[in-house]
Amino acid sequence: MARYRCVKCAPRPRGFLFESDKPECPRCGAKNELMLTPMTLSGFARITQVQELVDVHLLVEDIAGPIPDGNVRKYVACQKERDELARNKFDQFHASSDPRAVTCRSCMTTPAYEAINKFFLSIDPFYRERTEIDAKVQAGLVLKPKG
């Protein structure tokens, strides 16, 4: 089962997140089709209404971490034993030290993510507001932006 974002029935850029076997929004029925959206002076941009998402994992600095990164060692929050980010040239593994970019639900349940995310919520008011809006969108309390 893959994860998707619908940008037709919820505000962009976050959209309405859902899991499904096919790219069809359970809320509004949108499919993986192109739609025109207003741009600045150049006219319209084409984007897909339902977009497939990839997991972005959390990288945590730790002296005992198995992944060397310059002068620092790190580990992946949900896979502490993983010793490399990409294990071969075809491996698509996405990771970030910034909790604002993390989408892996397994990483989001770790104590390391909770601590780092709490820090970012305390210093970044925009991130705090976006997190609150995301929770409302997922709960179905916000369906479309005004205007």
Residue 133: inside a domain, yes or no? no
d(CA 126, CA 18): 24
At 9, is the secondary structure helix, strand, or coil? coil
d(CA 143, CA 127): 20
**Number of domains, the chain:** 2
Cα diameter, the chain = 52
**Same domain, residue pair 43 and 66:** no
d(CA 76, CA 60): 6
Residue 136: inside a domain, yes or no? no
Q: Is the pTM of this model over 0.75?
A: no
DSSP label at residue 41? T
**Same domain, residue pair 66 and 119:** yes
Q: Which two tokens stand for residue 5?
A: 């974002």
**Same domain, residue pair 10 and 60:** no
Residue 134: inside a domain, yes or no? no
- The number of angstroms, rounded, from the C-alpha of 119 to the middle of its chain's C-alpha atoms is 18
Residue range 21-77, pLDDT digits in tens: 888 889 888 887 766 666 555 555 666 788 888 889 999 999 999 998 888 999 999
Which of 18-22, 89-93, 105-109 has the lowest average pLDDT?
89-93
- Res 61: pLDDT: 92
User: Could you list the residue range(s) of the whole structural domain that residue 31 is in?
Assistant: 2-53
d(CA 145, CA 22): 26
What is the average per-residue pLDDT within 79-102?
87
**Same domain, residue pair 25 and 47:** yes
Angle of CA points 123, 124, 125, to nearest 5°: 115
What is the average per-residue pLDDT within 102-115?
90
What pairs with residue 79 in β-bridges? 76
- Res 105: pLDDT: 84
How many percent of the chain have pLDDT more than 90? 20
